[in-house]
Structure 1
Amino acid sequence: MPEFDPVAYAVPVFVLLVLAEMLWARRQRPHAYEPRDTLTSLAFGLGSTVAGVVFGGAILAASLWLYDYRLFDFGDTWWAVWWAWPLAFVLDDLLYYVFHRMAHRVRWFWASHVNHHSSQHYNLSTALRQTWTGFFALSFAFSLPLIFLGFHPAMIAIVSGFNLIYQFWIHTEAIGRMPRWFEAVMNTPSHHRVHHATNPRYLDRNYAGVFIVWDRMFGTFEEERPEEEAIRYGIVKQLGSFNLLWAVFHEWVGIAQDVWRAPWKHKLSYLLREPGWSHDGSRETSATIRARWESRRGGQAGKPVAEENPIAGSGEPA
Structure 2
Amino acid sequence: MELELLGKISMYVMGVVLAASLIEAVVLHFKHKGTDRAFDWHETWISLVDLVGRKLLAFVPISIATPVFNFAWEHRIHTVTTNTALTLFLLFIGQEFCYYWYHRASHTIRFFWANHAVHHSPNQLTLSSAYRLGWLTKIAGSSIFFTPLVWFGVKPDVVLAVVSINLLYQFWLHATWIPKLGWLEYVFNTPSSHRVHHASNATYLDANFGGVLIIFDRLFGTYVEERAEEPCVYGLTTPVTSHNPIVVEMQHWVSLAKDMFYAKSVSDAVGFLLRPPGWLPNGEGHTTEELQKRAKSMEQQPAHAGQ
Compute the TM-score of the two structures, normalised by the length of structure 2: 0.89
1:71 correspondence with 2:77: yes
Distance, in Å, in 1 between the alignment partners of 2:85 and 2:218 is 28
Distance, in Å, in 2 between the alignment partners of 1:25 and 1:170 is 16
1:45 is matched with which residue?
51
Give SS of 1:144's match. helix
2:225 is matched with which residue?
223
Computed over aligned residues only, the root mean square deviation of the Cα atoms, in angstroms, reads: 2.2
Task: Give 1:26 deviation, angstroms.
Answer: 3.4
Distance, in Å, in 2 between the alignment partners of 1:235 and 1:63 is 32
1:114 correspondence with 2:117: yes
| Letter of the 1:51 counterpart | L
Give SS of 2:59's match. helix
1:243 is matched with which residue?
244
Q: Percent identity among equivalent residues?
A: 33
After superposition, the Cα gap between the structure-2 partners of 1:59 and 1:261, relative to the gap in structure 1 and judged at 3 Å, is: closer
Name whichever of 29-38 and 191-200 sits farther off: 29-38
Note the residue ranges of structure 2 that are not aligned, 5 or more in a row. 303-307
Task: Give 1:134 deviation, angstroms.
Answer: 2.0
Name whichever of 28-37 and 245-254 sits farther off: 28-37
Task: Give 1:57 deviation, angstroms.
Answer: 7.6
1:183 correspondence with 2:185: yes
1:254 is matched with which residue?
255
Note the residue ranges of structure 1 that are not aligned, 5 or more in a row. 301-318
Task: Give 1:54 deviation, angstroms.
Answer: 2.1
Q: Is the 8 A contact 1:85 1:155 kept in 2?
A: no
Task: Give 1:281 deviation, angstroms.
Answer: 3.3
Give SS of 1:277's match. coil
Aligned residues: 295
Superimposed CA distance per residue, residues 29-65 of structure 1 (whole angstroms, 9 cap, x where no aligned partner) = 4436311121001111111222233247875565344
Equivalent position to 1:11, from 6, 11, 14: 14
Distance, in Å, in 2 between the alignment partners of 1:194 and 1:290 is 15
Distance, in Å, in 2 between the alignment partners of 1:19 and 1:259 is 40
| Letter of the 1:256 counterpart | A
After superposition, the Cα gap between the structure-2 partners of 1:171 and 1:71, relative to the gap in structure 1 and judged at 3 Å, is: same
Superimposed CA distance per residue, residues 79-132 of structure 1 (whole angstroms, 9 cap, x where no aligned partner) = 434432222122111111101101110101100111100110100011110121
| Letter of the 1:245 counterpart | I
1:142 is matched with which residue?
145
Q: Is the 8 A contact 2:65 2:142 kept in 1?
A: no
After superposition, the Cα gap between the structure-2 partners of 1:61 and 1:268, relative to the gap in structure 1 and judged at 3 Å, is: closer
Q: Is the 8 A contact 1:7 1:161 kept in 2?
A: no
After superposition, the Cα gap between the structure-2 partners of 1:112 and 1:69, relative to the gap in structure 1 and judged at 3 Å, is: same
Give SS of 1:174's match. coil
Distance, in Å, in 1 between the alignment partners of 2:192 and 2:32 is 16
After superposition, the Cα gap between the structure-2 partners of 1:261 and 1:58, relative to the gap in structure 1 and judged at 3 Å, is: closer
Give SS of 2:174's match. coil
Task: Give 1:20 deviation, angstroms.
Answer: 2.8
Compute the TM-score of the two structures, normalised by the length of structure 1: 0.86
Alignment of 1:80-159 (within 5 A): 80-159=83-162
Large movers: runs of 4+ above 6 Å: none
